């Protein structure tokens, strides 16, 4: 199913540095243990208020829980020396992340280019047929969001609404089977404009684009460039300004881990990171959660995920990596098309 996407284009989890072990989770709001703080560098102003120190302490905590084998694998992935006893390997890995995070943080502050506070993962499900033609008028039937706090590296919120399709209100058997979304679920749902208003409210309540810098993240370009774009035309509303730029995680993953695009399907990314898909594939919310797990692991590995695609005049364009890191604008109802 993911080939299809590839070709055309409060539940909380926490990041893990090693494998998908549930035990490895830090609960949100859990305190960082003394050892982890001790391992973090001293702030020049002798306090730990800067978010980078919390990030370093969290990374140290994860490293402390890694087995020797996991440490060796991680060091090897990072092309660092893999020799030595467990404590030596731990120290080496901690130093690597500490240096990387402090350098990144200093660079960002130097440029007035602070990193996103939040990344909002979106993975739409849409009406479809088996072998639908390229001009198939997909309508969004599920609008999920999973919000990542980039400082604590936790999922801090989820949103999910099903959407009633208006052009073709009857789902194909293929679509029901693929997505697990039933006719009853969409019949009971609100049409897209109503759901979009709830989305705007949800983002506003979290002060995204006002108090906090944020951007969206998707698995491939289609969620925005195809599904949202078509849906806005069908619903006769303008394409929302706040969804014009996003991170295409497939591109980021390929560039960061230096793998070709053929190895950036969601299942492959999870597999290569030692994670298993959790939930039901093609459920928008479960897909979003799993995409978020990949994003969290990449952030943990030191990748600075940045918006790399945008929509301009109905066209999908690439954002060069040299562009300044801008957050998405505050969410707003886009208005009707004239
Ligand atoms: P996904 O995020 O991979 O679940 O896909 C998003 C949407 O793309 C689905 O809700 C379908 O509308 C469409 N889609 C995905 N895979 C297929 C497929 N094999 N055939 C037709 N449409 C598909
Ligand atoms: Mg999906």
Residues 34 and 39: their CA atoms lie apart, in Å, by 9
Does 132 sit in the ligand 1 pocket, CB within 6 Å?
Answer: yes
Using the predicted structure, report yes or no on whether residue 332 has a pLDDT greater than 80: yes
The H or E element that residue 271 is part of is: helix 266-272
CA atoms within 13 A on the CB side of 253: 28
Q: ∠ CA 44-45-51 to the nearest 5 degrees?
A: 85
- Tokens representing 133 are 């033609």
Select from 331, 239, 241, 251 the least CA-distant residue to 298.
251
Residues 220 and 8: their CA atoms lie apart, in Å, by 9
Residues 90 and 338: their CA atoms lie apart, in Å, by 60
Tell me whether residue 326 is one of the annotated catalytic residues. Answer: no
Tell me whether residue 125 is one of the annotated catalytic residues. Answer: yes
Mean of pLDDT values over 236-254: 98
- Tokens representing 230 are 């078509």
Does 142 sit in the ligand 1 pocket, CB within 6 Å?
Answer: no
Annotated catalytic residue: which of 36, 125, 139, 161? 125
Atom of ligand 1 nearest to the CA of 128: 12
pLDDT tens-digit map of 260-280: 999 999 999 999 999 999 999
Does 126 sit in the ligand 1 pocket, CB within 6 Å?
Answer: yes
- When mean pLDDT is compared across 22-26, 55-59, 92-96, 212-216, the lowest value belongs to 22-26
- When mean pLDDT is compared across 110-124, 266-280, 321-335, the lowest value belongs to 110-124
pTM exceeds 0.85: no
Does 5 sit in the ligand 1 pocket, CB within 6 Å?
Answer: yes
Residues 259 and 277: their CA atoms lie apart, in Å, by 20
Rounded distance from Cα 126 to ligand 2 centre (Å):
9
Give the model's confidence band at 112: pLDDT under 50 very low, under 70 low, under 90 confident, else very high. low
**Coil vs helix vs strand at 195:** helix
Which residues, 6+ apart, have CB-to-CB distance to 232 below 8 Å? 238, 239, 240, 334, 337
């Amino acid at each position: 199913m993911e080939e299809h996407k590839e070709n055309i284009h409060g539940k909380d989890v926490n990041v893990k540095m090693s494998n998908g072990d549930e035990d490895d989770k830090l609960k949100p709001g859990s305190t960082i243990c003394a050892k982890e703080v001790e391992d973090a560098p001293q702030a020049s102003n002798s306090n730990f208020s800067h978010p980078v120190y919390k990030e370093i302490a969290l990374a140290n905590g994860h490293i402390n829980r890694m087995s020797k084998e996991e440490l060796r694998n991680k060091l090897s992935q990072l092309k660092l020396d893999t020799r030595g006893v467990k404590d030596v390997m731990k120290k080496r890995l901690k130093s690597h992340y500490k240096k990387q995070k402090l350098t990144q943080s200093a660079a960002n502050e130097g440029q007035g280019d602070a990193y996103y506070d939040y990344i909002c993962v979106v993975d739409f499900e849409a009406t479809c047929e088996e072998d639908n033609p390229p001009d198939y008028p997909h309508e969004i039937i599920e609008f999920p969001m999973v919000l990542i706090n980039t400082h604590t590296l936790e999922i801090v919120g989820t949103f999910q609404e099903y959407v009633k399709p208006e052009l073709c209100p009857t789902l194909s058997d293929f679509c029901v089977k693929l997505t697990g979304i039933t006719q009853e679920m969409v019949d009971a749902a609100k049409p897209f404009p109503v759901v979009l208003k709830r989305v705007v409210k949800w983002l506003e309540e979290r002060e995204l684009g006002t108090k906090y810098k944020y951007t969206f993240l998707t698995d491939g370009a289609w969620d925005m460039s195809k599904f949202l774009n078509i849906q806005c035309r069908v619903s006769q509303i303008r394409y929302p300004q706040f969804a014009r730029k996003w991170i295409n995680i497939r591109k980021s993953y390929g560039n960061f881990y230096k793998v070709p695009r053929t190895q950036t399907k969601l299942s492959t990314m999870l597999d290569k990171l030692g994670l298993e898909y959790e939930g039901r594939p093609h459920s928008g919310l479960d897909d979003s959660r799993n995409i978020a797990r990949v994003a969290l692991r990449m952030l943990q590995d030191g990748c600075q995920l940045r918006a790399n695609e945008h929509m301009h005049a109905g066209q999908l364009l690439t954002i060069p990596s040299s562009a300044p890191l801008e957050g998405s604008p505050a969410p707003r109802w886009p208005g009707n098309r004239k």
